[in-house]
Chain A
Amino acid sequence: MLDSIVLKINGREESVRLKPYDTLSRVLRDELGMIGTKRGCDYGGCGACTVSIDGKAVYSCMFPAQYAEGKEILTVEGLAPIGGALSMIQESFLVNGGLQCGYCTSGIMISTKCLLDKNPNPSLNDIQEALAGNICRCTGYGRILESIFAAAKSLREVKVGAPIPK
């Protein structure tokens, strides 16, 4: 049995057909081809599939797609402004080496976005709390923390033409 629902993803409404018990990550990746959201463990252990729903980070691999109807979904594809530029969070991860293989990065950047939207000046502990559900097996987390601190700083000091923080 297939249902058709409308999901609002990154500000755009997308009509999707889904099996009723489909998770959001399956719909995003397999139905809509939005493969920026990664499939890692597929049951809430790694955080690679993290997306934002109404500003809150959730694991899309265990979130029924039907629950997302009528809510604002943000995936990594929606982080960057239109026109090829990167968002400050993305830029900061790039410049500060906050990734190696990159598989966990989309989830981590969404978690970062959800954190910084609520708390523009997070402490180390705040970041650790927000990122506890995102596992990275490459970086050792040091560069990720630096990237988030730098992103927070630059977001607080948004100025046109400001240099990218190192």
Chain B
Amino acid sequence: MNLGLAVFRPKDFLLTDKKEEVLGRLKSEGKHAHIIAGGTGFYELARRGYIPEVKHVVSIMQLGLDYIKDEQTGLTIGATTILQNLLESGAGDRMGLEALGDALREIRPVQVRNVATVGGEVCISVPIVDLPTALLACGASLKILKSDGTEYSISLEDFYIDAFLTKLKYGEIVKEVTLPKKSDEKSAFVKIGRTAYDFNLINAGVSLSTNGDGKLSSIKVFLGGIKRTPLRALSFEKKLLGKKVDERTIVEAVEDAFEKEKLFPSVHGSSEYKMAILPIVLRDCVMKAFERTRG
């Protein structure tokens, strides 16, 4: 039986503050190089034997990307910002960014939160992580640094291609995540996992605003864990837009919108099971955001 334990044998581990060297190594070694940030995701993949082709481990932890900046346009979070530091910074208490705070508190255990990074959570691209769903609800975009020193931006929504696959090319790193300032929206994040400290089975991130009479004037809903990448629930949004929300409307909208969907099954939850808990997650998440609009 191959337990995958002996497969991971990289040749070197680059830990430096020289940006050019890091980007150069990533570009020249291509699929044989792998970025490591906090390391929690990386070592799990390595031990499970998922990345045997990796010969060069390249750390971005000393590139000075550990920052949280409050700017005119919004909040900018460096890629190697530790989740616990982001949580303690109070970033998630800002107007419209409540989903971020919810998600950070739900990422357990503290041993992981103390080392895992924002960039790592975004880039690992597996359906079981929580932060991307919350960031999507907050309207996040990424700034990516290329090996020639130039940068470009991409919205997080366009970033994911498949599980373990993003639009990041060899020789590029995610430099920072930007969250736009919101003036009238409230957001929320809810997840259900197997246990309180586990990855999610399903999670949801919602951002919404209401007009004077309590009807939804805008709503954005993202779901994690139900497909191989985070999914925007467009038909569900459509069914709620312009309506007054209550628990029954939401559950009915879920039933309509997801009637024939096949959800991404995992060892902890089949498609059928996830379908059964989906209305609960969406109900709780939309109501939580909605309650917040009422102060």
Contacts and interface: CB of A to CB of B under 8 A. Distances in A.
A42 interface: yes
A132 B44 contact: no
Given A1-B12, A20-B12, A64-B13, A133 B111 contact: yes
Given A43-B48, A66-B13, A67-B61, 5 more contacts: A20-B12, A57-B111, A58-B111, A64-B36, A132-B109
A47 B13 contact: no
Interface string A12-39: 0000000011010000000000000000
Judged by DSSP, the binding face of A is: mixed
B29 to A, nearest CB: 15
Contacts, number: 76
Nearest to A54: B114
Chain B interface size band reads 20 to 34
A149 interface: no
Nearest to B196: A132
B110 A132 contact: yes
Interface string A88-118: 0000000000000000000000010000000
Contacts of B44: 43-44, 62
A61 interface: yes
Interface of A: 1, 20-21, 23, 42-44, 47, 50, 53, 56-59, 61-64, 66-67, 111, 129-130, 132-134
B260 interface: no
Nearest to B8: A21
B200 interface: no
Interface string B4-38: 00001011110100000000000000000000100
Contact of A20 (B57, B108, B110): B57
Contacts of B47: 42-43
Contact of A61 (B43, B196, B197): B43
